[in-house]
């Protein structure tokens, strides 16, 4: 996916949800300039995309080249325990370190 394509999709997602990029930067814990650089380069990590989906209340799917859904974000339930369990599974799937895993789980506890 090109930088323009992913950046355009994220910007459209923000607009559809009435969110501003400055709010997203704050949510991600980065400066507005860092976010602008991510948009210009299309350099969003899987963790960034997961957090953006969470920020916008969206779902996220990771699809392998064969078209098989590896992880379907729509499986996230509104119940707290389901979110925590899915966050743990996602963290394991992405190979996040313990600090990143803890952060992801805490974010899902607060939603």
CATH number, domain with residue 20:
1.10.260
Structural domain range at position 7: 1-57
Give the helix ranges, DSSP H, for the chain: 3-16, 21-28, 32-41, 46-56, 80-94, 98-110
What's the farthest any 2 CA atoms get from each other in the chain?
37
**Same domain? 107 vs 73:** yes
**Same domain? 103 vs 78:** yes
**Same domain? 26 vs 66:** no
Residue 61: pLDDT band (50, 70, 90) is confident
Counting the structural domains of the chain, the total is 2
**Same domain? 35 vs 64:** no
Give me the mean pLDDT over the 38-63 stretch.
Answer: 87
List phi, psi (to 5°) of 57.
Answer: 70, 30
Give me the mean pLDDT over the 53-67 stretch.
Answer: 78
**Same domain? 65 vs 107:** yes
Kindly report whether the global pTM for this prediction surpasses the value 0.75: no
**Same domain? 14 vs 45:** yes
Question: According to the model, what pLDDT value does residue 82 have?
Answer: 67
């Amino acid at each position: 996916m090109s930088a323009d394509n992913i950046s355009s999709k994220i910007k459209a997602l923000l607009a559809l949800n009435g969110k501003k990029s400055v709010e997203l930067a704050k949510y991600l814990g980065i400066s507005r300039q860092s976010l602008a650089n991510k948009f210009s380069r299309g350099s969003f990590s899987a963790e960034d995309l997961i957090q953006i989906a969470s920020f916008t209340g969206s779902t996220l799917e990771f699809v392998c080249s064969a078209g098989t859904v590896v992880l379907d974000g729509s499986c996230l339930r509104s119940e707290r325990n389901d979110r925590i369990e899915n966050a743990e599974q996602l963290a394991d799937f992405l190979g996040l370190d313990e600090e990143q895993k803890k952060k992801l789980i805490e974010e899902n506890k607060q939603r």
